[in-house]
């Protein structure tokens, strides 16, 4: 039942926010929250694992890598308060998956439409480089989300790490996957035996967007394709 799944998802997000599974990440996220960035010195940083964002009935699942040190780790909402989030939510807005093109804080009125955003890892890692064991610890949460989000029809992992995390979580859930496994690439599309379409996209990091590796039109094309697949299936 939907109500039961909602309760399970809420409980899962509480477990994520309370997690202290990875000592290195606990130390780092709390250190960043104490020391802050000068421009945000008046903020009370979140400094905890950042929960996922979206509703249980979402048909689009977006998987990021990890919260940004002074983005999600500051605001407490995934892809909120940093340039990666600005780039992502502007694209989602243009494709009709959210109600506004910006994401500043948890109480800024942002709503997702038919979309759910999670991450391969829910704590900010030093230098944006999570360890394998840390990814494995967080993958248990992703597995639970995949089990509960029963209406998902399109999955967009942002970057190769998110792509790998999704495929590993599927395999651990016993889902049928092609052999060899689908290879990550921007704009690559695979239809899995589960009926879910897997679409690859580069991560909207500043490194990618400022160098032109990922442009607004490239990201728009991914989400327009996602919208088409959702509307025609």
Return d(Cα 201, Cα 197) in angstroms, integer: 13
Work out how many domains the chain is built from and give that number: 1
| DSSP H stretches of helix in 37-112 | 72-75, 83-94
Query: Over the stretch 48-77, which tens digit does the pLDDT of each residue have?
Result: 999 999 999 999 999 999 999 999 999 999
Q: 168 preceded by cis ω (within 30°)?
A: no
Which residues fall within 8 angstroms of residue 56, CB to CB, at 6 or more apart?
Answer: 2, 5, 6, 9, 148, 149, 151
Q: Looking at the predicted structure, is the pLDDT value of residue 6 above 70?
A: yes
Give residue for tokens 């040190």: 69
Full domain range(s) for residue 116: 2-231
Phi, psi of 86 (to 5 degrees): -55, -45
At 64, which CATH number? 3.40.470.10
Query: Over the stretch 110-159, which tens digit does the pLDDT of each residue have?
Result: 999 999 999 999 999 999 999 999 999 999 999 999 999 999 999 999 99
């Amino acid at each position: 039942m939907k109500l039961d799944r909602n309760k399970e998802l809420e409980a899962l997000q509480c477990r994520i926010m309370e997690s202290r599974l990875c000592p290195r990440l606990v130390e780092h996220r709390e250190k960043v929250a104490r020391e802050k960035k000068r421009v945000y010195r008046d903020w009370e940083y979140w400094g905890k694992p950042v929960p996922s964002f979206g509703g249980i009935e979402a048909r689009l699942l977006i998987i990021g890598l990890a919260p940004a040190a002074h983005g999600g780790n500051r605001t407490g909402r995934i892809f909120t308060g940093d340039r990666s989030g600005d780039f992502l939510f502007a694209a989602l807005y243009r494709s009709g998956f959210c109600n506004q093109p910006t994401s500043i804080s948890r109480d800024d009125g942002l709503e997702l439409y038919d979309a759910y955003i999670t991450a391969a890892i829910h704590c900010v890692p030093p230098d944006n480089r999570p360890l394998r064991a840390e990814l494995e610890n967080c993958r248990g949460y992703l597995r639970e989300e995949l089990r509960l989000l029963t209406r998902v029809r399109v999955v967009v992992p942002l970057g190769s790490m998110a792509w790998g995390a999704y495929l590993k979580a599927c395999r651990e859930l016993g889902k049928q996957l092609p052999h060899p496994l689908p290879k990550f690439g921007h704009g690559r599309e695979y239809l899995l035996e589960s009926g879910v379409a897997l679409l690859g996209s580069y991560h909207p990091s500043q490194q990618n967007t400022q160098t032109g590796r990922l442009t607004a039109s490239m990201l728009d094309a991914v989400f327009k394709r996602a919208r088409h697949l959702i509307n025609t299936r």
